[in-house]
Amino acid sequence: MAGKKGRSGRKARTDGIKMRAVALYIPMIKYEDQEEKERFRPESWFMQFKRVFGSQWQEKVRNMMINRVKTYQENNMWQCDCKFTIKRYHFRSDFQCKRCGAWKSQQAKRVMGELDE
């Protein structure tokens, strides 16, 4: 007999990446099946998305989220010079990093009165 009982589902990853389940709420539609029981199914756009991308649909969702965050950071935030593993992004209204003291720009430093001309 191959494998262990109860281990036929999702297999452990061997590439060292840890994954954790998070909730993704999809609107459900109520319908009646042939036996007139009330059942629920996801909205058609989600079913079509899964049908189009197959087993890679979760990877596609992750990639879309990553790209959206990168685009938002580039358009609406600025990055300081902190020497930590994760560089901190600041909103455009924050002129100075409270951790490392870096300024958004020389003009922001001048406006806030910190730069002597």
Q: What is the pTM of this model?
A: 0.62
Domains in the chain, number: 1
Identify the weakest region by mean pLDDT among 18-32, 51-65, 103-117. Answer: 103-117
Q: How many residues does the chain have?
A: 117
Q: Tokens representing 43?
A: 């909205």
Q: Which residue has the tokens 């455009």?
A: 92
DSSP for 45-111, please give it: HHHHHHHHHGGGHHHHHHHHHHHHHHHHHHHHEEE----SSSPPEEETT--B-TTT--BS-HHHHHH
- Residue 1's pLDDT band (cuts 50, 70, 90): very low
Confirm whether 9 is domain-assigned: no
- Residue 2's pLDDT band (cuts 50, 70, 90): low
**Host domain of residue 96:** 38-111
Q: Tokens representing 64?
A: 């879309």
